[in-house]
Chain A
Amino acid sequence: MAAPLTLLLLVAVTVRAALFRSSLSELISERVEVVSPLTAWKRVIEGLALLDLGVSPYSGDVFHETPLTIYLFHFLVDYAEVTFMVSVAGSSVVVTYLILFQFRKQKFALEADRYPLDCLELIRSPKEMYYIPLKVAMFYLLNPFTILSCVAKSTCGLNNAIIALFILSTIKGNVLLSAIFLSLATYQSIYPLTLCAPALLYLMQRQYIPVNFRRASFWWFIVQYAFMYLGSLFVIICLSFFLLGSWDYLPSVYGFILSVPDLTPNIGLFWYFFAEMFEHFRLFFLCVFQINVFFYTIPLSIKLKEHPVFLIFMQLAVISIFKSYPTVGDISLYMAFLPVWSHLHRFLRNIFLVSCVLLACSALFPVLWHLWIYAGSANSNFYYAITLLFNVAQILLVSDYFYAFLRREHHLTYGLYLKRKDGSEATLVLK
């Protein structure tokens, strides 16, 4: 496992280094699909320049990163490219390791007894699970979205690294580290807050605490985790206050994420709506759109309470699609996890359509941007149409995987080849 992984890392680093040195890097760092007002490197440089001048970096509404990020780059600005490559390589190694770790835990024989005999083909053997960590690393490192995001020096790579570390510490069962990394991830952008639920479910499952509202151990564990999480969040926020000496960053970072004042086009759904909306209704629609991100946590947790790892995947996907300033770096994070569920391929119904639409939309984004902004022959409707199509394809992908997952669970419980009461073959219909 180590040798192919090293080879993969070498290839990935070479590709990124080649692109960093070419003339394409400036072009890529200006693309709106790859950088957003929250993650653009140009804005980080602007914030650093303001900090060096002694002015608050948040004045002028240009810089929207957290204070810890500024100080990190204050020391690392000369090694920026190396930092981003290290963060990307690091997150891929972390993700590989965590999947390896998770698979080693699964005991093949223990599971085989619980399921009906004809479902043996649905259960994965260790032989085919052997290559999955490598495939995950490949999906993350060689994904063109990740490469573009890294070459543009978007701080999304750092956010992804923190989320990867959070998932690793959750899977290893370390409650304290999981809470700390989750609070770091929430501190960077608010949306990873929804990853609390799957983390709690996984840790409780690992410690054999039953998920039952009436049991005291359940509530006690939640209180412990919430205490650690809120405590570290409080510490980090106070640390940021002391680093910069003011509370300026709260409206600039969190107010910016929640109230969406900047309507630069991106691959998300917010900009077009809010550009054409009357001021009177803006607060209402803002609440609706933001609640949409957090809304799916409770129903998904109830349905997937025995499968928290899949819940993490679904939650990451929901965040990447519905957040206020998504970029392709966010998408590459949840796409990296797709090989983990390669055993669901036989139940996927729309994978061909989804991949064709995603491929076509990724190619059409720069074309329609050119036609809108430079040639003047198109307008924002064309670009938003491609954005909508892209997001619909992503939603279809995620819901398809959800369907496949549930169907596999159903087959594991009731058998693979269904028969009606009189013995004839039955078909499964999703109502």
Chain B
Amino acid sequence: MGLLSDPNRRRALISLLTRLNTPICGMPVEWLMKTMQAKGLEVFTQRFSRTLPFPDENKERYMVRGTNVYGILRAPRAPRTEALVLSAPCSPGDNNNQAVGLLLGLAEYFRNQIYWAKDIIFLVNEHDLIGMQAWLEGYHHTNTTGMDWSPLQGRGGSIQAALSLELSSDIITSLDLVLEGLNGQLPNLDLANLFYAFCQKIGVLCTIQGKLQRNDWDSVSGYSHAVQTMMLMVMKQASGRPWGDHGLFLRYHIEAATIKGVNSFRQYKTDATTIGRLLEGMYRKLNNLLERLHQSYFFYLMPSLSHFVSIGYYMPAFGLLAVILLLRALDLWVQLSTPPQRTEDGVTDIEPVRGTHFKTVADLLSLLTPLVISHLTGVALYMLPIRFQEMAVEHFPVSETEAVVLTAIAVYTAGLALPHNTHRLLSGEGTEQGWRVLKLVAVLYLAVLLGCTALINFSLGFILALTLVPVAAFVTPHVPKVLSAFILVILSPACTLLFSVFFFQELQEMPISFQDGWLLFLSVISQGILDHSLYGSLVYPLITLLVYPCWLLFWNILFWN
């Protein structure tokens, strides 16, 4: 017995799906409410509205106004303390027209079963992530992003797990699992294993990162395929954006994943009823949970759906990179502690100075000035693009989005040319001790920063470590200036982002030309800024307020003399 073994139900589902095959402009709120009520759910709506800081050119929206519709299926004999969520984003056009139909079909089937111990909330959210953020904030009574939403009239208890569906056709060939959430947070590995187990039981092809796993692990091509899949996951996690509607649930300690149906050119095709059986199985498993999913890993990387790399394997790699910085710091400390030559320090002949004694105000200033200026530049990079977009649009023939992105790039490049230090004005040339002290501070700062980043979002921390650590360890005022300046700029956060964009496209086997890549890079920057103000993603403030000033300190050390 499974879903839709009854022919009546099968017919009802097919009729629903064909009705939904028409493109949706806006969301049919009344129709959804009526249908859900007819299936016996308690239906509620939530209105929300939000003005983005600048127009989003990818999704073509600026002032967003929408309604979420959700129906709660109450568990027949259980107290209403826990809930599960099944959501389908309702976007205009053909993007996701089948998922809502499947959701409604499942709602009708679930309604007639007696084994539900948790409430099931069927959520149809408008404007995908923005609607989901409004719903979650309303459900949990928080307001972290400044969105305007109406309070929720009906609730279902604490949510234990959630799944988000994206189906764009009723015949699919494989199911893709998307795990990466906001700020690189991942759901418990148990959820991914559950999905994979059910796919194998039902006999549906399942993929991760859009790639099917291969059986030949020992061969070079098999290994490189696995590495490519894992690098795709690293790139997606490092971007810090939620790659499906599930990404916003993770912040509230709710394990969630997105299941995307893919219709490509394969021999064996499955229909919506099989997907329905798969989802029914998964929900029955989640229904039986006595506690939240926490037994398996929260930090992992997946080269394929049946293999994972846990934190115990990948953290030592990062640890070794951080040790480079610590050893360099120790080396600088030892260099600073050896007593200076008597000829240099003729003033204090009585006792040799150990450690860093700031005997004059100029010494302290030569350390503080680059720190203050770098951080002020970082603050400017964080605040100026959005603040000055109106002024930029008045004076230049660009749209608001372009103004924001180009201001960001302008401030970034201008930071390179700033006079970072006053010692050139004061004494004409910086002391040998001065740059060593600054480098010690900068190296320790970078080590602590990268450590904290890697703990929260490992991929971002690792990519930053790979690009910044070698440069940070080797830069001194005495290396050849032009070559080092070139390498320092190539490995700066912005250029790393540019190369990552091209690399990401290569990994997805959709290589693009340089112009398209540059446009994609600009849109990635604008998406990063939008993610920060819409959902609270930390990548943009981290890079502008902490990583960029740290990089500027090394730029300053290079041009010390």
Q: Please list the residues of chain A having a beta carbon within 8 angstroms of any beta carbon in chain B.
A: 120-122, 125, 345-346, 351-352, 356, 359-360, 363-364, 367-368, 370-371, 374-377
Contact = CB atoms under 8 A, between A and B. Distances in A.
Contact of A368 (B251, B333, B455): B455
Given A120-B350, A351-B355, A356-B326, A377 B299 contact: yes
A359 B444 contact: yes
B288 to A, nearest CB: 20
Interface residues of B, number: 24
Given A356-B329, A363-B452, A367-B452, A375 B354 contact: no
Given A374-B251, A375-B251, A364 B444 contact: no
B372 interface: no
A120 B351 CA distance: 9
Interface of B: 185, 250-251, 253, 292, 294, 298-299, 326, 329-330, 333, 350-351, 354-355, 444, 447-449, 451-452, 455-456
Given A356-B444, A374-B251, A345 B354 contact: yes
Contacts of B329: 352, 356
Given A360-B451, A375-B253, 17 more contacts: A120-B350, A122-B351, A345-B355, A346-B355, A356-B326, A356-B444, A359-B448, A363-B448, A367-B452, A367-B456, A368-B455, A371-B455, A371-B456, A374-B251, A375-B185, A375-B298, A376-B294
Contacts of A368: 455
Nearest to A361: B448
B298 A377 contact: yes
A360 B185 CA distance: 23
Contacts of B455: 364, 367-368, 371
Nearest to A344: B354
A371 B250 CA distance: 12
A363 B452 CA distance: 7
Nearest to B334: A352
A120 B456 CA distance: 53
Contacts of B294: 376
Nearest to A362: B448
B332 to A, nearest CB: 10
Contacts of B451: 360, 363-364
B448 A125 contact: no
30 contacts: A120-B350, A121-B350, A121-B351, A122-B351, A125-B350, A345-B354, A345-B355, A346-B354, A346-B355, A352-B333, A356-B326, A356-B444, A360-B447, A360-B451, A363-B448, A363-B452, A364-B451, A364-B452, A364-B455, A367-B452, A368-B455, A370-B456, A371-B456, A375-B185, A375-B251, A375-B253, A375-B298, A375-B456, A376-B292, A377-B298
A375 B181 CA distance: 12
Most buried by A among B250, B326, B455: B455
Nearest to A370: B456
Contacts of B354: 345-346
Nearest to A382: B455
Contacts of A371: 455-456
Nearest to A347: B354
Contacts of B351: 121-122
Contacts of B185: 375, 377
A112 B217 CA distance: 78
Contacts of B444: 356, 359
A121 B354 CA distance: 13
A356 B251 CA distance: 31
A155 to B, nearest CB: 29
Contacts of A120: 350
Contacts of B333: 352
B370 to A, nearest CB: 18
Contacts of B355: 345-346, 351
Nearest to B333: A352
B151 to A, nearest CB: 23
Interface centre among A122, A356, A375, A377 (most CB of B within 10 A): A377
A376 B350 contact: no
Contacts of A375: 185, 250-251, 253, 298, 456
A375 B250 CA distance: 7
A308 B100 CA distance: 77
A137 to B, nearest CB: 15
Contacts of A363: 448-449, 451-452
In this complex, the member of A368, A371, A375 whose beta carbon has the largest number of chain B beta carbons within 10 angstroms is A375
By Cβ-Cβ distance, the 3 closest A-B pairs, closest first, are: A377-B298, A376-B253, A346-B354
A106 B544 CA distance: 51
A371 B251 CA distance: 10
A375 B298 CA distance: 10
Contacts of B251: 374-375
Contacts of B456: 367, 370-371, 375
Contacts of B253: 374-376
B326 to A, nearest CB: 7
A377 to B, nearest CB: 4
B418 to A, nearest CB: 23
Contacts of A360: 447-448, 451
A367 B453 CA distance: 9
Contacts of B350: 120-121, 125
Nearest to A124: B351
Contacts of A364: 451-452, 455
A409 B72 CA distance: 77
Contacts of A121: 350-351
A359 B448 CA distance: 8
Specify which of B299, B330, B456 lies most central, judged by the most chain A CB atoms within 10 Å of its CB: B456
Contacts of A367: 452, 455-456
Nearest to B297: A377
A367 B447 CA distance: 15
Contacts of A351: 355
B392 to A, nearest CB: 27
Contacts of B299: 377
B315 to A, nearest CB: 13
A356 B250 CA distance: 33
A45 B538 CA distance: 33
A360 B329 CA distance: 14
Contacts of B447: 360
Nearest to A379: B294
B233 to A, nearest CB: 17
Contacts of B250: 375
A375 B299 CA distance: 11
A346 B351 CA distance: 10
A310 to B, nearest CB: 20
A345 B355 CA distance: 7
A367 B457 CA distance: 11
A342 to B, nearest CB: 8
